[in-house]
Structures are given as structure tokens and as C-alpha cells.
Structure 1
Amino acid sequence: MRGYSDDRTSAAWRSAVELCGDVSAIEGPLAGHHHETYVIPLGAGCGGRRGAPPGRWKSRAARPGLVRFDRRSFVSEEDVVRALHRRVRRVPELIEVDGKGLQRFIEGATLGQLHPADAAVPGHLVVQMVDVFRELASIRPRSVRLPRRGPAPEAVADGDSAAFLDGLISYMEEHVHAAHADEVGGLFRDLGVDDGATARLRRFVSGLGERPFCLVHGDLHRENLIVDARQELWVIDWELAMVGDPLYDLATHLHLMRYPAWQERTVARLWSAAVSGVRPGGARGWGRDLPLLLGFKRAQSVFTDIVRVALALRGGAADPVGLLRDAVRLREVLDRGAVPLGLDSVPSVPVVAAALGRWCRGYAAAS
């Protein structure tokens, strides 16, 4: 699971050494986008911490200078995990050691390692996933009393799913599109994403029905689901958790999981039954509104993936093979987001690759 070079001067590494004391026992850094993570053992055999629970724990810190594309509602992920204790069973235990929050490291493999995207997920794991949705749907907004980064939850009335989604679109406009317009605006236009795309997206999702809000994870994909040796499913990375429309959580999950079509339909039906059983009205109108929320997720991917690819290409040589690989990826994303964004046409892979090449040359010339 190593995905990044081991920085022996970083805050995450220093914290791991301080907590464990035995450098040879530290594993990592683990692959992950938002955090630098190390796995450390605690207990009598490590650093003399006889009062610490046995097992291995994750010591991590946010990666400095990270460009973020998703809205974060709560100040601390640790607060969220702590609040979920005894309310959502499949959340790893969290402890405090020397003022630092450590999550238990689940010994196992990610769902993506066992069953990659587009592959079906075994039924017993789907059932456990639906259990997570059921437990989250039972968590009422007023019971989530955690420090927030943004406006108070009362800023969007409980159940106003349309306003909730409009806030996510506004965040995308401001923090993804507008924030990078000077640098990447020309690439957007070359790829056929004009300035009227978000207005058309708002028209596409208009008329969203009301559903009572609950706590949602916001990022339930295969790499955030861990399967242990007993085939038990665990949910990690609660950084994007928020209070909102429960159907948004399902739409995000289906968009990121890329189930086979038949299994996507099965998961949606199981979700509806589970949520309705614990939260009356929680699945109201899901059959009509799910395509709208999936459309938003596909449109959101167009904006975030164009910016991600462009930022990754900064300062590097325009490698033809790499550009072609990026072009294939972006062409698929554009194709999936064309309807909700109201795009007249989707450029071919060679056209996308040519646009990326021009952007690289223009960026290099301006630097």
C-alpha cells in the first residue's frame, strides 16, 4: 500500500516516531491522497506504553499544500469518528494518546483490491454496506453537535434537498471552476465546457424532492471500504462527512463504486428499503431523483478531473503516452457528464490530447 515516498522530516513521521519509539516497527506511508499515514504498534512492546491498547494504529497528518475539490463540513474528522462510536458499527475505534487521535488500523484489504471497479461485489459485503446507510440514516441533524467549518446547519432547512444540492454546485463553481479559471479556463473552453455549463446543470437538477436530512459519509468508494480476515466491512476516511440528503450519499456511492448495472439497481433498491425502515420519508422520490443526483456527480467529475489533470501536468514534459492516457480518461468523464452539463458535443480522444498538449506548451511558455 505504499504510494508515496517516505519523508523522514514530515510532521506525520515525527509524530509516529514519538508515539511508537521504535522506527523499525513503523509501516508506511500508506497510499492516500489527503493524508500522510503511518501504521504504528502500541503497547508494552513499543515505547513502553503499557497502558495503550494492543494492536496497530494509524498516525496521520494532512498533506501540506493539498488542493481540495470537495466541501468539508466539520473541523475535525476525529470529531466525526468519535461521535459515531456505538452509532455506526463499522467505524474503526479511535483513541487518544499524548493528545493525538489514533484510529485502529484494520488488518485486511480495500474492497478495490479485492473487487476492482466495474466488478460485482459479493452479496454479503453489499448487505454490510447497506447496514452502514441504515445506521447513518438514523442519525438526526440535531444530534450531530460538532464544530463546523461553514455555516450552521440551520442555513439549509432540514429536508430542503434542492438547497443542499445548490450549495454543492456553488462550492464547485467557486472552489473548483472559478478558483482555477485564470490557469485552466482556456482548457475548459477547448474541451467544450463553456461558462454556461453550471447554469444548465442547475436546470438539469431542478425540482429535486424533499427528504429529511441525516449524517452522510460523502465518499463511500472501494478504497474507503476495508475487508478484514473475517469478511467484515469497515468504513474509513470520514473527512467529507456532512449533514444532508441521504439520497446524495447513495448517488455518490454508486457514482464512485462503478457497480455492474444490475448490481447498481440491486443496491439502490436495498438502500431504499433500509433507509425507509429507520427514517420515514428518507427515500421519498428516490427513483425520480437518483438520476438527477447522479447527473450532478458526473458533472462534478468533469470540473474536478479537468483541473486535477491540468495541475498534475504543470511543470512536466508533455509526454505523448501520458497525454493520451489522460485524454482517454477525460474523454470518458466528458461523455458521462455531457447530458447534465448540456454539452453540444464531446471531443474525441485525439482532440482532447491535442488540447492538453496546447495547455502544457502554453503553461510552460508563461512560466
Structure 2
Amino acid sequence: MRVRRPAGETLAVTLRTWEHEAQVLAAVRPWLTNVPRPLVRNRDYGVLTYATGTTLADVVPPGKPLDRVHLEQLAGVFAALLRVPAERLPPRPAGWPADGDSTGFLRMLLDFSEQVRLDHDAEFGLLFDRLGVPRDGLTRLADTLPPLTPRPFALLHTDLHRRNIVVLGDGALHVIDWELSSYGDPLYELATHLRRTDYPASQQDEAVAIWQQAATAVSGRFAEGLAEDLPAYLRYEQAQSVYPDVMRAARALVSTRSPLRMTEAVRRVRTALDRAAPALSMTALPDRADVTAALNDWLRAAAG
């Protein structure tokens, strides 16, 4: 069961294209059967079937190479996403980039992330200043990105990582958590998958090749410009992730549901900064003591 939390309990930091994942699952099932089946849909909650198994993260922990059998099954998932007809999907929000406007799609993502930063500036702006995150980082990144190769748009899961993949008893993969699914440049699917699945460096090229083979088997146009354009999406993913990751770590320090220890919050913040630094041109990163002091100051300001 998925229950929508009241406004204010969660950070609005993720792009939500559609209101209900049930709408997407209904469109996906003819092409990909190993997904949850919606049973009940209400404005405030939904009930879906449950997959009995073990997450891929528990079978193969992050940072470890995936077995070839898992990569081949992921190729089938990628291909299925590309085959779902656009007309079967719910309508996109007003102003959505036109099909094939890959540059417009990336610009929309950048604009959304900049708006996230602005929307939370009153609460977190000084914390980001203390951590050395430039306020114009996303704007400067947008100015450096070249136009992208036009590619046909497709259904995107956008959160296809080890914890959202259940390994069933027969070894088949079952894909869950479609709440953040979207519609756009298929290279963005590859970029989010690479970053969030945490492949070891030795398997990155293999993972890209698996996706490319799956995409090309559906249509060669989906993978056009891959070598030139994938770095742009990876830079965006590196840059934008610093905002939700730092904000969630800080908020977790005062959470009543699952409070976070300061040492873990500091670790998460430093990891986020390390990841985003190249894309945001951050040359000097705060050490552990500076991050701890910044978070303590944020706690004092939040309390009073």
C-alpha cells in the first residue's frame, strides 16, 4: 500500500510527471509483465500486488558487478520501456518538450532542479553556502552544455536501481516503484540507471553497451549520439543530486520517524559534495569537521 504523506512531511525535490503510478503500470503491463498490478487507486492511497523475493541490492550489493544474467534481463526491461506506445501513456503536463526535443528535455530538467533549489533556499540556502555549493552552479552548467542529438522520446522509469528491482524465486527480475516514471529522452534513463545502480568502474562500459544493444534492437534512433550526449546527462545527474541528498540528510537529523546520527549525516553530505563537485566546478570541498559545524549551525537555526 502506498499512502500519500501530508504536504510538509516530505521534500518536494523529484520531478513527478504523472499523479498515479497505476496509470503507467496499466500501460506497461502488455510489454513488461513483471511489474506490480494495481488493485485499488484512491486520491490519497493505492494498493498494488506484492512481489515476494529479494532486492537486487541484497543479492548483489552496490558497488559490486552484476551477473551477466541480470544484465541480460535488464536489457529486456530497457527494450520494453522503449516499446510502450506514447498513446498508451497518460497525457504529459502542459508545456512538455515536443517528442524528439532532447535539448529541450534536458533544459526542462535543469530548470526543475534550479526551481527546487530556489523553493528551499529559505531553509537550506545558508547551509549550501557554508558547504561551498555555488548558487549559480546549475545556471553555469546549463550554459556549458551543447545542443543534444534529437532522439525519439520514450517511457522512462528514471529510478531503476538495485533496490527497485526484486529478484523472484525463479530468478526473474520484477521492477517496482514507478512513481517517478516519465516520458522523454531515453538517454536520461541510461544516465539515471548508471548513477543510481552504482556499478563498479570496471562494469560501466558493459552496462552502457547492454543498454545500447537493447535500444538499437528496438530502433537505432534511440541510441543516436550516445557517446556525445550521455556525458551531459551524467553531469546533470551529478550536479542536481547534491540538493536532495544534502536536504534529506539535514532533515533526517530532526526526523521523528527515523532520526539520523550526525556521523551518518556528515558522511552522506560529503558523498553528495564529492559527486557533484566536478559538474558544479567546486574545487575546494569542506572536510568532515566543517560539514559537522555547518550541519550543527543549521540545526540551531531550524530549532530557533
Fold similarity call, TM over 0.5: yes
CA shift, 1:97, in A, is 9.2
Q: Does 1:114 align with 2:56?
A: no
Structure 2 partner of 1:167:
108
Separation in structure 2 between the aligned mates of residue 94 and residue 210 of structure 1, nearest angstrom: 34
The alignment partner of 1:208 has SS state of: coil
Structure 2 partner of 1:66:
10
Q: Does 1:87 align with 2:87?
A: no
Query: Unaligned 5+ residue runs, structure 1?
Result: 1-58
Q: What is the number of equivalent residue pairs in this alignment?
A: 299
Separation in structure 2 between the aligned mates of residue 79 and residue 115 of structure 1, nearest angstrom: 31
Separation in structure 2 between the aligned mates of residue 164 and residue 98 of structure 1, nearest angstrom: 30
Separation in structure 1 between the aligned mates of residue 85 and residue 97 of structure 2, nearest angstrom: 14
The alignment partner of 1:200 has SS state of: helix
Cα RMSD, aligned residues only: 2.3
Q: Does 1:359 align with 2:298?
A: yes
Separation in structure 2 between the aligned mates of residue 102 and residue 354 of structure 1, nearest angstrom: 43
Answer with 1 or 2: which has the greater Rg: 1
Matches within 5 A, 1:1-367: 59-64=1-6, 65-95=9-39, 102-141=47-86, 143-148=87-92, 150-151=93-94, 155-174=96-115, 176-314=116-254, 322-364=261-303, 367=304
Separation in structure 2 between the aligned mates of residue 134 and residue 294 of structure 1, nearest angstrom: 21
Per-residue deviation, residues 199-223 of structure 1 (Å, max 9, x unmatched):
1221343333221110010111111
Separation in structure 2 between the aligned mates of residue 121 and residue 301 of structure 1, nearest angstrom: 24
Higher relative contact order (CA 8 A, sep 6+): 2
Shifted more, 249-258 versus 200-209: the winner is 200-209
Per-residue deviation, residues 152-198 of structure 1 (Å, max 9, x unmatched):
6xx31211111111111111111x21111011100011111122111
The alignment partner of 1:340 has SS state of: coil
Separation in structure 1 between the aligned mates of residue 143 and residue 213 of structure 2, nearest angstrom: 29
Change (3 A) 1:314 1:98: closer
Per-residue deviation, residues 51-99 of structure 1 (Å, max 9, x unmatched):
xxxxxxxx33223332231111112111111111212232233345999
Give me the TM-score of the superposition, normalised by structure 1.
0.76
Amino acid at match of 2:110: I
Query: Unaligned 5+ residue runs, structure 2?
Result: none
Does the CA contact (< 8 Å) of 2:246 and 2:272 recur in 1? no
CA shift, 1:227, in A, is 0.4
Amino acid at match of 1:280: G
Does the CA contact (< 8 Å) of 2:38 and 2:46 recur in 1? yes
Separation in structure 1 between the aligned mates of residue 36 and residue 103 of structure 2, nearest angstrom: 33
